[in-house]
Amino acid sequence: MYLSIFDLFSVGLGPSSSHTVGPMRAGADFVRRVHDGAGLASVAGLRVDVYGSLAATGHGHGTFPAILLGLEGFRVEEILPEQAEARYAAWDAGAPLLLGAQLGGSQLPDGEGVALDYHVADMIQHPLTVLPRHTNGLRLQALGAAGEVLADETYFSIGGGFIERLGEEASVEHLESSEPYPFDTGAELLQRCRESGLSISEVALANECAARPREEVLAGIDHLWDVMEECKDSALRRSGTLPGGLNVRRRAPEWHARLLAEDTKRDFEYWQEWVNLVALAVNEENATGGRIVTAPTNGAAGIIPAVGFYATHYAKACRGLGEEVKREQVRRYLLTAAAIGNLYKKQASISGAEVGCQGEVGSASSMAAAGLAEVLGGTPEQVSNAAEIAMEHNLGLTCDPIGGLVQIPCIERNAIASAKAVNASRMAMMGDGDHRVSLDEVIITMRETGKDMLDKYKETARGGLAVNVVEC
């Protein structure tokens, strides 16, 4: 089953795909079910239980207000940061939760909803309790006037904004199994390329077009890239420190001004500074709670745009060429990255809470390296080699964000992993694609390493930098 590029890369809010986007989706799914089942008008109360990593680091990730946004019916793909901020301010001032207000539909006029005296402080947190399926667990119950349970659902936020409801498969849209080039492993992907004579991006595009018209696919990919660009630009317009209390200074706006002054001719010598800048900017915007493309997660969202910046500004296939040529290359870049992302999602995990940061930043670095190799004209074997090299040198990366905030080490880590991706691509392009360690072997190794990693290094705020660095 092929996971669509629109599942792997979706537009949402920062700072975390698993701890912000997923919980918000769970809230929205729940309220829709209540709406379609018992009916919103019969709800008089709520009970929300938050488990494991979601509870342990939920405060720094905006998990709890994100659940409330979902319960009001906001869709993560559509909500604007200003709308979210307005609701946060209203709740802080004591305003009620407006259950289902944003759902629309026949039961409730848009903008109303069932007013409930329910607040973030009412959520019950169980940081030391891990539900059997996944560490990011969330149970939502709607209660009637007599306290009776009208609806009761448990969700798991399994990484990258994907959610699962207890008792059913991942509730993501994915392409039907009628895709023309099915693959579950890197070896199968290469085999599909050999049989068809297509590149990896062409295989991915053909699979996408099995579910949607080609024009819709291309427009959707262009939209993803535009949101990535706007995300970076938005960060460059900001100033001051990031929210959350760590007093982390925004560096991207200053670096941008300096680069514009120093690198007036866009000299190749400065490529790494620009790549660093884009990664920092996107991740600063993510930490701000801005609009972001999960790629494949929010914590790792700067890598694909940063390496994409390299591709569009420094690769021969784009350098000095028109916007249409760049668009075409960006599509190839993102389609290839998504094809490789499929392999990580199917064979391992892209969740920091499940396998550590190697699953988030490592996967993104590998996906970006593959996409860049495709733009550089690599064969499918070279593209696969680039993905393999990038992951091989991210193995073992732990997830230990200070204060549970997606800031330190996350922001710089994206810049470092972007440079690794560029290097991995360039190394792969120096070879013929033949390599000793296969992409599948390194993906399985990542999965096994993640399983062996102590829980304290998997987004629990109980190990590593999260406990060894004083927060203020």
Chain positions contacting ligand SF4, by CB under 6 A: 299-300, 352, 357, 360-361, 399, 401, 406, 409-410, 413, 459
Q: Outline where 237-379 has alpha helix (H).
A: 252-262, 271-287, 303-314, 323-347, 352-355, 357, 363-375
Nearer to ligand SF4, 196 or 247 (CB): 247
Tell me the CA distances in angstroms from 88 to 44, 173, 189, 231, 329, one per residue in order.
22, 29, 45, 21, 39
- Least Cβ distance, residue 218 to ligand SF4 (angstroms): 30
Q: Does the bond joining 305 to the residue before it have cis omega, within 30 degrees of 0?
A: no
Sequence-separated (6 or more) residues with CB below 8 Å from residue 259 = 270, 273, 274, 277
- Least Cβ distance, residue 352 to ligand SF4 (angstroms): 3
Nearer to ligand SF4, 130 or 218 (CB): 130
Backbone angles phi, psi at 170, to 5 degrees: -50, 130
Sequence-separated (6 or more) residues with CB below 8 Å from residue 179 = 2, 206, 207, 210, 211
The residue among 340, 331, 419 whose CA lies nearest residue 387 is: 340
For residues 64 and 120, is the Cβ–Cβ distance under 8 A?
yes
Residue 446 CA to residue 314 CA, distance in Å, equals 31
Q: Are strands 291-294 and 10-13 parallel, antiparallel or unpaired?
A: antiparallel
For residues 161 and 21, is the Cβ–Cβ distance under 8 A?
yes
The residue among 100, 115, 196, 102 whose CA lies nearest residue 151 is: 100
- Least Cβ distance, residue 137 to ligand SF4 (angstroms): 18
